[in-house]
Amino acid sequence: MNSKQFTLSPLVRLVSLALVIAALGVAFVGQAAATSSPNSPDLVERWVQSHPSYVLAPDDLDRVIQKPAASFYTPEGLYADGLRAQGIAEVYQRLQGRPASSFYTPQALKAAGMRLDAMAQVYKQPQSKTTSSGSGFDWSDGGIGAATGLALVLCSAGLILIARRNRDEHLAV
């Protein structure tokens, strides 16, 4: 076998570089996600804050649409909505002043009470707070990043060996 300088094909170089960059990216993104504050804005919130003209709030409909609301609905649809609103108002007037026990069964009231008691018990329990070490580095996230990086390096090494073996076989022919 002649002594030749070993060179990688451009494809193998590109794939190896991409795997190394991905390993570093996974390690840094995992650590950044672990140390970010729960109150800090995420990517979507930051985009919305920096692009206010692209996002419509419910109040912005008047600014965007210059038509009166009545032009969106047919007269029959508006009449049906009016009848529905009147029916709801009549039911509320009939129920006004009546205690809840008059329109709930005793079993339903007992079930609602048990549900509220269970919720109160959950909220009474002390909340478990996660504490971070003084250094600010989360070793479990770092271990995950290191393991992922090692796996990607091993994949890169396997690709390099396969490329070397294929190149040596093609040169021997």
The domains of the chain are located at: 10-35+54-124+139-172
Q: Is 144 exposed, middle or buried (0-12, 13-18, 19+ CB in 10 A)?
A: middle
Nearest 10 degrees: CA dihedral of 14, 147, 140, 34?
Answer: 10
Note down pLDDT in tens along the chain; length 173 residues.
454 566 767 888 888 888 888 877 777 776 666 555 556 666 667 777 777 666 666 666 555 555 565 566 788 888 888 899 999 888 888 878 777 667 778 888 889 889 989 888 888 877 666 665 556 778 888 889 999 999 999 999 998 888 888 776 766 55
pLDDT the model gives residue 108: 86
pLDDT the model gives residue 1: 47
pLDDT the model gives residue 45: 72
Instruction: Please tell me what DSSP assigns to residue 57.
Output: -
Phi first, then psi, for residue 39 (nearest 5°) are -95, -5
Q: How many whole angstroms separate alpha carbon 82 and alpha carbon 104?
A: 28
Residue of 35, 36, 55 whose CA lies nearest to 45: 55
Contact 12, 165 (CB under 8 A): no
Instruction: Please tell me what DSSP assigns to residue 54.
Output: T
pLDDT the model gives residue 55: 61
User: Which amino acid, residue 129?
Assistant: K
pLDDT the model gives residue 139: 82
pLDDT the model gives residue 36: 57
pTM over the 0.85 mark: no
